[in-house]
Amino acid sequence: MQIWMLGVRGSCPAPGLDFVRFGGNTSCVAFAHDDDAPSLVLDAGTGIRSLSSLLDGNAFSGTVVLGHLHWDHVYGLPFFGAGDRPDARVRLLIPASGVAPVDVLRRSMSPPHFPITPLELRGSWTFDGYDEGWFDAEGFQVLAREIPHKGGRTMGLRVSDGNHTVAYLSDHAPQDLGPGDDDLGAVHEAALELADGADLLIHDAQYTAAELPAFATFGHAAADYAVRLGEAAGVRRVILFHHDPRRTDDQIENLLASLPRPGGLVVEAAVEGRRYSL
């Protein structure tokens, strides 16, 4: 399994010299089998634009799964060059809401907010909903579980190829389910199921523990919680994700250095463009 971090920032892009080392594009992670081209994508923030360069000039053929519909996870879609061409095949999945998926997407992607609608993207695009449970996508097995995050139904995802597993909880507000043992949020059943024994846990780390009380209603987690969940779930590596758009490279480095590594747990910050081979 190959995994690329294409966009690691949260809420809005963060351009500028202070955001170069970790990257300023918003959420997008791509998966491939062995040496194949990436065919499964989680979220379509501005980072999805970089996927085109991984395809060697070829059109994208695969599935894009959106964990939820906030702007920072969808507004890369019309700028995804390898997906917006006549020979592309894109299956787009969003959390089921009882409304046709294309109509949900059209609320933010249509005139006067944007020049075109999703149905005007070139290529063969299909728009479907998904619910909690397991489903197949491009030869991967994906588990979706609903997790707390303000402002619409949000899914955490677990991706497996039968040998390796990646847990993806990009936007997660565990404090909504209670304070837990340390006031950072409950280590709840859905989070544990998604992360259980994963090779990689990619987790929301938008805030520090000190910041969390002031932003507790904004729908995100503290980096310390990601470490705590990783320890409780027995994961091999925790990747701090969805960096706050105000947090500079130096501040991310300082945050990373301040975190515990219980039992030798590997903890690192997501870096745009980094590739993991499992």
Q: Where are the domains of the chain?
A: 2-277
Q: Which residue is associated with the tokens 């998904």?
A: 130
- Whether residue 35 is predicted with pLDDT greater than 90 in this model: the reply is no
Contact (Cβ atoms closer than 8 angstroms) between residue 94 and residue 69: yes
Output the CA–CA distances (angstroms, integers) from residue 82 to 37, 39, 93, in the order listed.
12, 12, 18
pTM above 0.75, yes or no: yes
Report the alpha-carbon distance of residue 230 to residue 251 in Å, rounded. 22
- Whether residue 33 is predicted with pLDDT greater than 90 in this model: the reply is yes
> How many Cα atoms sit within 13 Å of 85 on the Cβ side?
12
What is the amino acid identity at position 116? I
Q: Give the pLDDT mean for 135-142.
A: 98
Q: Count other C-beta atoms under 10 Å from residue 241's C-beta.
A: 28
Contact (Cβ atoms closer than 8 angstroms) between residue 90 and residue 60: yes
Mean pLDDT of the chain: 97
Q: Comparing 63-67, 82-86, 163-167, 179-183, which segment has the lowest mean pLDDT?
A: 179-183
Question: Percent of the chain at pLDDT above 70?
Answer: 100
Report the alpha-carbon distance of residue 121 to residue 148 in Å, rounded. 31
The length of the chain is 278
Residues with Cβ within 8 Å of residue 90, at least 6 apart in sequence:
60, 61, 62, 63, 64, 83, 121, 123, 124, 125, 126
Q: For residue 93, what pLDDT is reported?
A: 98
- 222: helix, strand or coil: strand
Report the alpha-carbon distance of residue 155 to residue 179 in Å, rounded. 21
Q: Give the pLDDT mean for 69-95.
A: 97
Q: For residue 149, what pLDDT is reported?
A: 97
**What is the sign of the dihedral through the CA atoms of 183, 188, 194 and 199?**
positive
Q: Count other C-beta atoms under 10 Å from residue 71's C-beta.
A: 11
Where does residue 263 rank: exposed (0-12), middle (13-18), buried (19+ CB within 10 A)?
A: exposed
For 150, list phi and psi in degrees, rounded to 5. -65, 135
Query: Would you state the structure tokens that stand for residue 7, as one six-digit string?
Result: 């966009």
Q: For residue 189, what pLDDT is reported?
A: 98
Name the CATH superfamily for 2-277: Ribonuclease Z/Hydroxyacylglutathione hydrolase-like (3.60.15.10)
Contact (Cβ atoms closer than 8 angstroms) between residue 33 and residue 122: no
Report the alpha-carbon distance of residue 226 to residue 205 in Å, rounded. 7
Q: For residue 30, what pLDDT is reported?
A: 98
